Amino acid sequence: MFSRHLTSLPRLSRGLATHSGPLFGAPATLHLKTGQSFNGRSFGAPKSIYGETVFSTSITSYTESMTDPSYRGQILVFTTPLIGNYGVPHNIAPFDSQDVGVILESQRIQCAAVVVSDVAERFSHHKAVESIASWCNRYDIPGITGVDTRAITRLLRDQGTTLGRVAVGADVAAPPPKADEFWDPSAENLVDQISTKEPYELNPTGSIKIAVLDFGAKANILRALVRRGAAVTVLPWNYDFNAIRDQYDGLFLTNGPGDPTQCMDAALKLRTTLAEWDKPVFGICMGHQIIGIAAGLDAYRMTFGNRGHNQPVLALASAGSIKAGRVYVTSQNHQYALKLQDPFPQGWEPFFINCNDSSVEGIKSTADSGKKVWGVQFHPESAGGPLDTIEMFTDFLNECHAHKLASSTNSHVDVVSPMVEPRPQVAVAAAA
Protein backbone atom coordinates (compact mmCIF):
# COMPACT_ATOMS: atom_id res chain seq x y z
CA MET A 1 0.00 0.00 0.00
CA PHE A 2 2.83 2.28 0.84
CA SER A 3 4.59 1.91 -2.48
CA ARG A 4 1.38 2.84 -4.30
CA HIS A 5 1.65 6.31 -2.82
CA LEU A 6 5.12 6.81 -4.17
CA THR A 7 3.85 6.69 -7.73
CA SER A 8 2.10 10.04 -7.58
CA LEU A 9 5.00 12.29 -6.64
CA PRO A 10 4.95 14.16 -10.01
CA ARG A 11 1.68 15.74 -8.92
CA LEU A 12 3.69 17.63 -6.32
CA SER A 13 5.02 19.89 -9.05
CA ARG A 14 1.75 21.79 -8.79
CA GLY A 15 2.51 22.60 -5.19
CA LEU A 16 4.39 25.49 -3.67
CA ALA A 17 7.15 23.58 -2.03
CA THR A 18 10.58 22.50 -3.04
CA HIS A 19 11.78 19.37 -1.36
CA SER A 20 15.16 18.11 -0.41
CA GLY A 21 15.03 14.41 0.12
CA PRO A 22 12.25 11.86 0.18
CA LEU A 23 8.92 12.79 1.71
CA PHE A 24 8.06 9.23 2.62
CA GLY A 25 9.67 6.17 3.80
CA ALA A 26 12.10 6.63 6.68
CA PRO A 27 11.24 4.46 9.67
CA ALA A 28 9.33 6.31 12.38
CA THR A 29 8.04 5.33 15.82
CA LEU A 30 5.39 6.80 18.08
CA HIS A 31 6.43 6.37 21.73
CA LEU A 32 3.91 6.95 24.49
CA LYS A 33 5.00 7.96 27.98
CA THR A 34 3.06 4.98 29.29
CA GLY A 35 5.56 2.66 27.61
CA GLN A 36 3.90 1.58 24.37
CA SER A 37 5.61 2.11 20.99
CA PHE A 38 4.18 1.89 17.46
CA ASN A 39 6.41 1.50 14.43
CA GLY A 40 5.56 2.96 11.04
CA ARG A 41 6.98 5.11 8.26
CA SER A 42 7.68 8.81 8.26
CA PHE A 43 6.05 11.41 6.01
CA GLY A 44 6.39 15.19 6.04
CA ALA A 45 9.31 16.65 7.96
CA PRO A 46 11.97 14.04 8.76
CA LYS A 47 12.39 15.15 12.35
CA SER A 48 11.54 13.89 15.84
CA ILE A 49 9.21 15.76 18.14
CA TYR A 50 7.51 15.61 21.57
CA GLY A 51 3.88 16.46 22.24
CA GLU A 52 0.62 15.43 23.85
CA THR A 53 -1.00 12.51 22.01
CA VAL A 54 -4.73 12.99 21.33
CA PHE A 55 -7.19 11.43 18.91
CA SER A 56 -9.83 13.00 16.68
CA THR A 57 -12.83 11.17 15.26
CA SER A 58 -13.26 13.65 12.39
CA ILE A 59 -13.83 11.92 9.09
CA THR A 60 -12.98 14.93 6.92
CA SER A 61 -11.38 18.36 7.34
CA TYR A 62 -7.88 17.27 8.29
CA THR A 63 -6.72 20.57 6.78
CA GLU A 64 -8.94 22.60 9.12
CA SER A 65 -8.04 20.47 12.15
CA MET A 66 -4.32 20.68 11.52
CA THR A 67 -4.46 24.50 11.20
CA ASP A 68 -6.63 24.90 14.35
CA PRO A 69 -4.43 26.76 16.88
CA SER A 70 -6.08 24.76 19.69
CA TYR A 71 -4.06 21.71 18.51
CA ARG A 72 -0.79 23.46 19.32
CA GLY A 73 1.67 21.09 21.00
CA GLN A 74 -0.43 18.02 20.22
CA ILE A 75 0.38 14.85 18.31
CA LEU A 76 -2.88 14.37 16.46
CA VAL A 77 -4.02 10.80 15.81
CA PHE A 78 -6.75 10.53 13.17
CA THR A 79 -9.14 7.63 13.78
CA THR A 80 -10.24 7.82 10.14
CA PRO A 81 -7.88 5.44 8.37
CA LEU A 82 -7.29 7.30 5.10
CA ILE A 83 -6.07 10.87 5.50
CA GLY A 84 -4.79 13.13 2.72
CA ASN A 85 -6.95 11.91 -0.16
CA TYR A 86 -8.21 15.36 -1.13
CA GLY A 87 -4.80 17.01 -0.72
CA VAL A 88 -4.28 20.51 0.62
CA PRO A 89 -5.56 23.78 -0.93
CA HIS A 90 -3.67 27.00 -1.44
CA ASN A 91 -4.15 28.66 1.97
CA ILE A 92 -4.20 32.31 0.98
CA ALA A 93 -7.34 34.34 0.50
CA PRO A 94 -6.98 37.86 -0.90
CA PHE A 95 -6.65 40.02 2.18
CA ASP A 96 -9.19 42.76 2.61
CA SER A 97 -11.18 43.96 5.55
CA GLN A 98 -13.97 41.50 4.73
CA ASP A 99 -11.99 38.40 5.42
CA VAL A 100 -9.10 37.05 7.37
CA GLY A 101 -6.53 36.29 4.68
CA VAL A 102 -6.57 32.49 4.84
CA ILE A 103 -9.03 29.84 3.77
CA LEU A 104 -8.05 27.32 6.45
CA GLU A 105 -8.15 28.00 10.20
CA SER A 106 -4.81 29.81 10.48
CA GLN A 107 -1.71 30.52 8.43
CA ARG A 108 0.16 27.32 9.24
CA ILE A 109 -0.07 23.79 10.57
CA GLN A 110 -0.45 24.12 14.34
CA CYS A 111 -0.36 20.57 15.67
CA ALA A 112 3.06 19.15 16.58
CA ALA A 113 2.73 15.98 14.48
CA VAL A 114 0.11 13.76 12.82
CA VAL A 115 -0.44 10.02 13.14
CA VAL A 116 -2.25 8.26 10.33
CA SER A 117 -3.12 4.68 9.49
CA ASP A 118 -2.75 5.14 5.74
CA VAL A 119 -1.65 8.50 4.41
CA ALA A 120 -2.69 9.20 0.83
CA GLU A 121 -0.02 10.61 -1.41
CA ARG A 122 -2.33 10.26 -4.39
CA PHE A 123 -4.77 13.12 -3.86
CA SER A 124 -7.60 14.51 -5.91
CA HIS A 125 -9.54 17.74 -5.45
CA HIS A 126 -10.02 20.73 -7.74
CA LYS A 127 -8.60 23.09 -5.12
CA ALA A 128 -5.70 20.88 -4.03
CA VAL A 129 -2.21 22.15 -4.78
CA GLU A 130 -0.09 19.71 -2.79
CA SER A 131 -0.13 16.51 -0.78
CA ILE A 132 -0.39 16.36 3.00
CA ALA A 133 3.21 15.07 3.05
CA SER A 134 4.47 18.07 1.08
CA TRP A 135 2.46 20.42 3.28
CA CYS A 136 3.83 18.87 6.50
CA ASN A 137 7.32 19.09 5.07
CA ARG A 138 6.96 22.81 4.32
CA TYR A 139 5.85 23.51 7.90
CA ASP A 140 8.46 21.22 9.44
CA ILE A 141 5.79 18.93 10.89
CA PRO A 142 6.52 15.20 11.10
CA GLY A 143 3.92 12.57 10.27
CA ILE A 144 3.85 8.85 10.86
CA THR A 145 1.81 6.42 8.75
CA GLY A 146 1.33 2.68 8.66
CA VAL A 147 0.52 2.40 12.36
CA ASP A 148 -2.56 0.83 13.96
CA THR A 149 -4.47 4.00 14.86
CA ARG A 150 -7.35 1.93 16.23
CA ALA A 151 -5.03 0.33 18.79
CA ILE A 152 -3.54 3.74 19.67
CA THR A 153 -7.01 5.27 20.05
CA ARG A 154 -8.23 2.46 22.29
CA LEU A 155 -5.16 2.96 24.47
CA LEU A 156 -5.68 6.72 24.68
CA ARG A 157 -9.36 6.23 25.43
CA ASP A 158 -8.55 3.83 28.28
CA GLN A 159 -5.47 5.46 29.78
CA GLY A 160 -6.31 9.04 28.73
CA THR A 161 -4.47 11.62 26.71
CA THR A 162 -0.78 10.69 26.98
CA LEU A 163 2.47 12.50 26.33
CA GLY A 164 4.31 11.13 23.32
CA ARG A 165 7.22 11.38 20.95
CA VAL A 166 7.39 10.82 17.24
CA ALA A 167 10.91 9.51 16.57
CA VAL A 168 12.08 9.62 12.96
CA GLY A 169 15.12 8.28 11.10
CA ALA A 170 18.19 7.68 13.25
CA ASP A 171 16.18 8.42 16.43
CA VAL A 172 14.14 5.27 15.83
CA ALA A 173 17.09 3.13 16.87
CA ALA A 174 17.50 5.08 20.13
CA PRO A 175 15.80 3.74 23.26
CA PRO A 176 12.39 5.27 24.06
CA PRO A 177 12.61 8.51 26.07
CA LYS A 178 12.59 8.25 29.84
CA ALA A 179 9.40 9.40 31.58
CA ASP A 180 10.87 12.75 32.60
CA GLU A 181 12.06 13.53 29.06
CA PHE A 182 8.54 13.91 27.66
CA TRP A 183 7.44 17.50 27.08
CA ASP A 184 4.09 18.54 28.51
CA PRO A 185 2.59 21.38 26.44
CA SER A 186 -0.14 21.97 29.04
CA ALA A 187 2.51 23.17 31.49
CA GLU A 188 3.10 26.18 29.22
CA ASN A 189 0.96 29.18 28.44
CA LEU A 190 0.36 28.21 24.80
CA VAL A 191 -2.23 30.96 24.42
CA ASP A 192 0.40 33.61 25.01
CA GLN A 193 2.51 32.07 22.22
CA ILE A 194 -0.26 32.14 19.64
CA SER A 195 -2.45 35.15 20.48
CA THR A 196 -2.06 38.32 18.43
CA LYS A 197 0.56 40.63 19.96
CA GLU A 198 -1.15 43.79 18.72
CA PRO A 199 -4.82 44.69 18.26
CA TYR A 200 -6.06 44.68 14.66
CA GLU A 201 -9.33 45.35 12.90
CA LEU A 202 -11.46 43.52 10.37
CA ASN A 203 -14.34 45.14 8.50
CA PRO A 204 -14.00 48.47 10.37
CA THR A 205 -17.13 49.89 8.70
CA GLY A 206 -19.35 47.10 10.04
CA SER A 207 -22.63 48.03 11.70
CA ILE A 208 -21.89 46.68 15.17
CA LYS A 209 -18.59 46.86 17.04
CA ILE A 210 -17.36 43.59 18.50
CA ALA A 211 -14.16 43.17 20.51
CA VAL A 212 -12.59 39.72 20.22
CA LEU A 213 -10.19 38.40 22.85
CA ASP A 214 -7.83 36.16 20.87
CA PHE A 215 -6.80 33.00 22.75
CA GLY A 216 -5.78 31.37 19.44
CA ALA A 217 -8.71 32.21 17.18
CA LYS A 218 -9.81 29.91 14.41
CA ALA A 219 -10.22 32.02 11.28
CA ASN A 220 -13.79 30.85 10.73
CA ILE A 221 -14.88 32.46 14.00
CA LEU A 222 -13.67 35.82 12.71
CA ARG A 223 -15.29 35.15 9.31
CA ALA A 224 -18.59 34.21 10.98
CA LEU A 225 -18.65 37.59 12.75
CA VAL A 226 -17.51 39.65 9.74
CA ARG A 227 -19.93 37.93 7.36
CA ARG A 228 -22.79 38.97 9.62
CA GLY A 229 -21.75 42.61 9.39
CA ALA A 230 -19.66 43.02 12.54
CA ALA A 231 -16.75 45.44 12.78
CA VAL A 232 -14.25 43.26 14.60
CA THR A 233 -11.32 44.39 16.74
CA VAL A 234 -9.09 41.47 17.65
CA LEU A 235 -7.25 42.00 20.95
CA PRO A 236 -4.45 40.05 22.69
CA TRP A 237 -5.87 37.46 25.13
CA ASN A 238 -4.93 39.44 28.27
CA TYR A 239 -5.71 42.91 26.91
CA ASP A 240 -7.25 45.30 29.43
CA PHE A 241 -10.62 45.27 27.72
CA ASN A 242 -12.24 47.05 30.68
CA ALA A 243 -10.28 50.18 29.80
CA ILE A 244 -11.88 50.38 26.33
CA ARG A 245 -15.14 48.46 26.75
CA ASP A 246 -17.42 51.47 26.27
CA GLN A 247 -16.36 51.64 22.62
CA TYR A 248 -17.86 48.17 21.91
CA ASP A 249 -21.33 46.69 21.51
CA GLY A 250 -20.32 43.15 22.43
CA LEU A 251 -17.40 40.98 23.52
CA PHE A 252 -16.36 37.65 22.03
CA LEU A 253 -13.83 35.17 23.49
CA THR A 254 -12.24 32.66 21.12
CA ASN A 255 -10.99 29.10 21.29
CA GLY A 256 -7.37 28.48 22.26
CA PRO A 257 -4.79 25.80 23.13
CA GLY A 258 -3.81 24.36 26.49
CA ASP A 259 -5.00 24.58 30.06
CA PRO A 260 -7.52 27.40 30.73
CA THR A 261 -6.06 27.99 34.19
CA GLN A 262 -2.96 29.34 32.41
CA CYS A 263 -5.23 32.26 31.44
CA MET A 264 -6.45 33.28 34.90
CA ASP A 265 -5.42 36.85 34.12
CA ALA A 266 -8.09 37.00 31.41
CA ALA A 267 -10.68 35.27 33.63
CA LEU A 268 -10.16 37.78 36.44
CA LYS A 269 -10.43 40.74 34.05
CA LEU A 270 -13.58 39.19 32.60
CA ARG A 271 -15.06 38.84 36.10
CA THR A 272 -14.86 42.64 36.39
CA THR A 273 -16.38 43.02 32.92
CA LEU A 274 -19.31 40.76 33.79
CA ALA A 275 -19.91 42.59 37.06
CA GLU A 276 -19.84 46.09 35.59
CA TRP A 277 -20.89 45.80 31.92
CA ASP A 278 -24.24 44.55 30.68
CA LYS A 279 -23.56 44.15 26.94
CA PRO A 280 -23.66 40.69 25.26
CA VAL A 281 -20.71 38.33 25.70
CA PHE A 282 -20.17 35.08 23.79
CA GLY A 283 -17.34 32.58 24.14
CA ILE A 284 -16.34 29.40 22.33
CA CYS A 285 -14.33 26.51 23.79
CA MET A 286 -11.42 28.21 25.64
CA GLY A 287 -13.57 31.36 25.64
CA HIS A 288 -16.42 29.40 27.22
CA GLN A 289 -14.05 28.00 29.86
CA ILE A 290 -12.81 31.51 30.68
CA ILE A 291 -16.42 32.74 31.03
CA GLY A 292 -17.15 29.78 33.32
CA ILE A 293 -14.12 30.43 35.52
CA ALA A 294 -15.06 34.13 35.69
CA ALA A 295 -18.58 33.07 36.73
CA GLY A 296 -17.18 30.97 39.58
CA LEU A 297 -17.12 27.48 38.03
CA ASP A 298 -14.08 25.20 38.08
CA ALA A 299 -12.40 23.74 35.00
CA TYR A 300 -10.97 20.19 35.05
CA ARG A 301 -8.90 18.03 32.73
CA MET A 302 -10.94 15.30 31.04
CA THR A 303 -9.53 11.81 30.52
CA PHE A 304 -9.27 11.98 26.72
CA GLY A 305 -11.28 15.09 25.83
CA ASN A 306 -13.63 15.40 22.89
CA ARG A 307 -12.21 15.85 19.42
CA GLY A 308 -14.22 15.28 16.27
CA HIS A 309 -17.02 16.65 14.16
CA ASN A 310 -19.67 14.27 15.42
CA GLN A 311 -20.31 15.20 19.05
CA PRO A 312 -24.01 15.31 20.03
CA VAL A 313 -25.08 17.94 22.56
CA LEU A 314 -28.50 18.37 24.19
CA ALA A 315 -29.83 21.92 24.66
CA LEU A 316 -31.16 22.37 28.21
CA ALA A 317 -32.44 25.90 27.64
CA SER A 318 -33.79 27.90 24.71
CA ALA A 319 -32.07 31.04 23.46
CA GLY A 320 -32.29 32.57 19.99
CA SER A 321 -32.01 29.81 17.39
CA ILE A 322 -31.37 27.14 20.04
CA LYS A 323 -34.38 25.20 21.28
CA ALA A 324 -34.39 23.34 24.61
CA GLY A 325 -34.76 19.59 24.21
CA ARG A 326 -33.09 19.40 20.79
CA VAL A 327 -29.88 17.55 20.11
CA TYR A 328 -27.33 19.34 17.92
CA VAL A 329 -24.36 17.64 16.28
CA THR A 330 -21.21 19.66 16.85
CA SER A 331 -17.51 19.96 16.13
CA GLN A 332 -15.22 19.83 19.15
CA ASN A 333 -11.58 19.94 20.13
CA HIS A 334 -11.01 20.17 23.86
CA GLN A 335 -9.25 18.45 26.74
CA TYR A 336 -10.66 20.57 29.57
CA ALA A 337 -14.26 21.20 30.58
CA LEU A 338 -16.25 23.11 33.17
CA LYS A 339 -17.37 21.12 36.20
CA LEU A 340 -21.09 20.57 36.54
CA GLN A 341 -22.00 21.78 40.00
CA ASP A 342 -25.28 21.99 41.84
CA PRO A 343 -26.35 24.67 42.38
CA PHE A 344 -24.81 26.64 39.55
CA PRO A 345 -23.41 30.06 40.53
CA GLN A 346 -26.12 32.68 41.05
CA GLY A 347 -27.22 34.14 37.71
CA TRP A 348 -25.96 31.19 35.62
CA GLU A 349 -27.44 27.97 34.26
CA PRO A 350 -26.22 25.04 32.16
CA PHE A 351 -27.04 25.57 28.47
CA PHE A 352 -25.92 22.32 26.79
CA ILE A 353 -24.81 18.89 27.97
CA ASN A 354 -22.84 16.28 25.99
CA CYS A 355 -24.99 13.25 25.09
CA ASN A 356 -22.01 10.87 25.21
CA ASP A 357 -20.28 11.76 28.47
CA SER A 358 -22.64 14.30 30.16
CA SER A 359 -19.89 16.95 30.28
CA VAL A 360 -20.94 20.61 30.35
CA GLU A 361 -21.20 21.85 26.76
CA GLY A 362 -22.50 25.32 27.42
CA ILE A 363 -23.48 27.82 30.09
CA LYS A 364 -25.58 30.95 29.93
CA SER A 365 -26.70 33.79 32.12
CA THR A 366 -30.20 33.26 33.50
CA ALA A 367 -33.14 35.24 32.14
CA ASP A 368 -33.49 37.16 35.43
CA SER A 369 -29.78 38.08 35.64
CA GLY A 370 -30.15 41.08 33.34
CA LYS A 371 -27.19 39.77 31.29
CA LYS A 372 -26.80 38.19 27.86
CA VAL A 373 -23.79 35.93 28.22
CA TRP A 374 -23.25 32.50 26.64
CA GLY A 375 -20.35 30.11 26.39
CA VAL A 376 -20.26 26.90 24.38
CA GLN A 377 -17.65 24.17 24.59
CA PHE A 378 -18.26 23.14 20.97
CA HIS A 379 -17.54 25.09 17.77
CA PRO A 380 -20.69 26.58 16.17
CA GLU A 381 -18.52 28.07 13.39
CA SER A 382 -17.02 24.71 12.47
CA ALA A 383 -15.41 25.17 9.06
CA GLY A 384 -15.48 21.43 8.56
CA GLY A 385 -19.13 21.22 9.60
CA PRO A 386 -21.62 20.36 10.97
CA LEU A 387 -23.30 23.74 11.03
CA ASP A 388 -26.26 22.86 13.30
CA THR A 389 -25.45 25.71 15.70
CA ILE A 390 -23.98 28.32 13.31
CA GLU A 391 -26.87 30.71 13.91
CA MET A 392 -25.60 31.31 17.44
CA PHE A 393 -23.44 34.00 15.77
CA THR A 394 -26.58 35.59 14.33
CA ASP A 395 -28.22 35.39 17.76
CA PHE A 396 -25.22 37.03 19.42
CA LEU A 397 -25.06 39.91 16.95
CA ASN A 398 -28.82 40.45 17.13
CA GLU A 399 -28.55 40.72 20.91
CA CYS A 400 -25.76 43.28 20.42
CA HIS A 401 -27.96 45.27 18.01
CA ALA A 402 -30.92 45.08 20.38
CA HIS A 403 -28.83 46.27 23.31
CA LYS A 404 -27.41 49.10 21.24
CA LEU A 405 -30.94 50.17 20.27
CA ALA A 406 -32.23 49.96 23.82
CA SER A 407 -29.45 52.23 25.06
CA SER A 408 -29.73 54.85 22.30
CA THR A 409 -32.33 57.35 21.20
CA ASN A 410 -32.24 55.98 17.66
CA SER A 411 -35.37 53.96 16.87
CA HIS A 412 -33.83 51.95 14.00
CA VAL A 413 -32.34 48.56 14.76
CA ASP A 414 -30.31 46.51 12.30
CA VAL A 415 -31.34 42.87 12.25
CA VAL A 416 -29.01 40.12 11.13
CA SER A 417 -30.94 37.41 9.30
CA PRO A 418 -30.16 33.73 9.55
CA MET A 419 -27.86 32.98 6.65
CA VAL A 420 -26.52 30.11 4.66
CA GLU A 421 -22.79 30.16 5.31
CA PRO A 422 -21.12 31.34 2.10
CA ARG A 423 -17.98 29.49 3.09
CA PRO A 424 -16.83 28.32 -0.33
CA GLN A 425 -16.70 31.84 -1.78
CA VAL A 426 -13.37 32.56 -0.20
CA ALA A 427 -11.87 29.35 -1.46
CA VAL A 428 -13.17 29.96 -4.99
CA ALA A 429 -11.62 33.42 -5.01
CA ALA A 430 -8.30 31.98 -3.91
CA ALA A 431 -8.33 29.24 -6.47
CA ALA A 432 -9.35 31.46 -9.39
Ligand X SMILES: NC(=O)CC[C@H](N)C(=O)O
Q: Interface residues with ligand X (CB under 6 A)?
A: 70, 255-258, 260, 285-286, 333-336
Between the CA of residue 114 and those of 93, 124, 205, 335, what are the distances in Å? 25, 20, 40, 17
Residue type, 219: A
By the 10 Å C-beta count (0-12 exposed, 13-18 middle, 19+ buried), 188 is classed as middle
In eight-state DSSP terms, residue 286 is H
The Cα 165–Cα 178 span in angstroms is 11
In angstroms, what is the minimal distance from the CB of 192 to ligand X? 13
Using the minimum distance from each CB to ligand X, give the nearer residue, 55 or 336.
336
Between the CA of residue 36 and those of 31, 56, 176, 348, what are the distances in Å? 6, 19, 9, 44
Residue tagged active-site, from 309, 379, 401, 403: 379
In angstroms, what is the minimal distance from the CB of 346 to ligand X? 25
CB 213 within 8 A of CB 251: yes
In angstroms, what is the minimal distance from the CB of 113 to ligand X? 17
In eight-state DSSP terms, residue 395 is H
126: annotated active-site residue: no
Task: Give the HSE-up count for residue 248: Cα atoms under 13 Å, Cβ half-sphere.
Answer: 26
What DSSP line would sit under 18-71, residue for residue?
Answer: --SS-SEEEEEEEEETTS-EEEEEEEES---EEEEEEEE--SS-HHHHHT-GGG
In eight-state DSSP terms, residue 102 is -
379: annotated active-site residue: yes
In angstroms, what is the minimal distance from the CB of 68 to ligand X? 7
In angstroms, what is the minimal distance from the CB of 284 to ligand X? 7
Residue tagged active-site, from 105, 130, 361, 381: 381
In angstroms, what is the minimal distance from the CB of 218 to ligand X? 8
What DSSP line would sit under 370-390, residue for residue?
Answer: T--EEEESSBTT-TTS--TTT
In angstroms, what is the minimal distance from the CB of 3 to ligand X? 37
Using the minimum distance from each CB to ligand X, give the nearer residue, 11 or 334.
334
CA dihedral (157, 39, 144, 167) positive or negative: positive
Using the minimum distance from each CB to ligand X, give the nearer residue, 258 or 384.
258
Residue tagged active-site, from 111, 136, 263, 285: 285
CB 82 within 8 A of CB 123: no
The Cα 362–Cα 396 span in angstroms is 14
In angstroms, what is the minimal distance from the CB of 153 to ligand X? 18
Treating both helix axes as pointing N-terminal to C-terminal, what angle do 219-227 and 392-406 enclose, rounded to 10 degrees?
Answer: 50
Alpha helices in 217-373 (DSSP H): 219-227, 264-276, 286-295
Using the minimum distance from each CB to ligand X, give the nearer residue, 273 or 377.
377
Start-to-end Cα distance in the chain: 34
What is the helix (H) or strand (E) element at residue 216, kind and residue range? none
Positions marked catalytic: 285, 379, 381
